[in-house]
Structure 1
Amino acid sequence: MKLLRVGPEGAERPAVLAEDGSLLDLSGLTRDIDGDFLAAGLERARAAYAAGELPPLQNAERIGAPLARPGKVVCIGLNYRDHAEETGADTPAEPIIFMKASNTVVGPDDDVLIPRGSEKTDYEVELAVVMGGRARYLDSPADARPLIAGYAISNDVSEREFQLERGGQWDKGKSCETFNPLGPYLVTADEIDEPQNLGLRLWVNGELRQDGDSENMIFPVDHLIWYLSQFMVLDPGDVINTGTPAGVALGSPGIPFLRRGDVMELEIDGLGRQRQRLA
């Protein structure tokens, strides 16, 4: 299933995108698409969809993030070989972990705000993994896959000066408001046969900047979930941004950082497309 939330900010309604492109209302089964629903309500929604029991939904003026109130957004740095190379970094021996504030998550086509004083706002197309089960001290990566609710496109927007030149943790260059467009929909895990075989692309003002494939991850999705579970509990509704391929402005001399009025467009195979304007 393709799950999404439509409507004005703060008043989104949960929905399913049907195969014919129409929207079906999920609000009779759940108040929202959140951790509780992903943990306990997916099968009920899948059955109702298969039985044709979901009523049509007309309001699609805005698509919100497909997940309400993620508990946490965990990010993996330098997780593509070509991205590590372009930034001059060594290949990590273990995953590099940082966090983004959960309130950075916005809709896939919402404006992205340039922070005050920013000179180095950057883009990163990423495969986002959304948890549907609890991961705590998993025994092996093989235990991770059944705990995944689904996948979505994430734009891990970053301010590189704040991140790298101002001391301290990366988080302050990653957690500015609107710095995590997510969606347009959450594709449930049963529809993605292999998360390590997805093309990722990003354009700025129509120019292709990133063109990669998730097969080039240093640490694949299952390994990341297993690894993270050794250090923190992952709960249903948590988001993992799994890293970005080469082509970011940080690693591309001559490529400008983002400015107001620029337009970013992102896509991942099978997961749809995003579009954001910088404001």
Structure 2
Amino acid sequence: MNSSQSNPSSDAWVPPPDSRAYILTPILITVMTISSLLVLLRLITRIFLIKAPGIDDLLSVASLALIGALTALGIISVQYGAGTHVYEVPPSNFHIFSVYVTKLVTTTELLFVFSLCMVRLSNLAFYFRLSSDKWFVRGIYAVGFLVISITLIAVAFVLSKCKDVRDLWNIDNPNRHCKSFNAEFSVMIFHAGMGILIDASILALPIWIVFRKMKFSPKMVRVVLIFCVGALSIIAGILRLNYSLINVDADMYVHTLQLSSDLNIETIM
């Protein structure tokens, strides 16, 4: 493969005017900027104002780093055809785009799984600050076990999709033996469904302890409403699951935009 094929320039091909690729970069940059500011404010508050940093802050920084890498891949994927219909990609560049999108998809899957795990563990670690109630702590550990388990299952599946792990990033290998899309789709739906259940559990834990420890008052209502912001992650998960179910076809280029945006938004929430 010559240099022009192995490292195609973004000037060689421009997405058509109706491509969703043009809104992908602004969306990802906006989401990343918001998440960075939130984490920065959190660290300033914990370190300099409250002076009580914890493991949850460390996990939030780790998740931000992973989200940053995920966002960068989303932006890079635009020049390789993300957000554009397959039939709109020039035949001369189709194979080049297929190779790079395949590589990006595998790496993006792993980054998403790990970043989502870090975000959820960060939330659970923060909950230890709320109460030392025996059942509440047990609930945190139980949900944490589910988070780690579903993450390990997802990673194991991604790495076992091809007989040779290297083939996950090597679409040109003529002896490439990988699992069918149907098998991958089933695991993807399972992971999304479990994610919704886990996010609902993470949301319910603090609300349950608030109802147990606080008397009904305007203050309690405000506290509950603050935690209910986490319901956005559940909504994002449901939308992603629904979108995956109704958009099962070979036109994965255009769907990459929707999935990439949903994954980033869900991770931030």
- The TM-score by the shorter chain falls in which range? under 0.3
Higher strand share: 1
Higher helix share: 2
Larger Rg: 2
Structure 2-normalised TM-score?
0.25
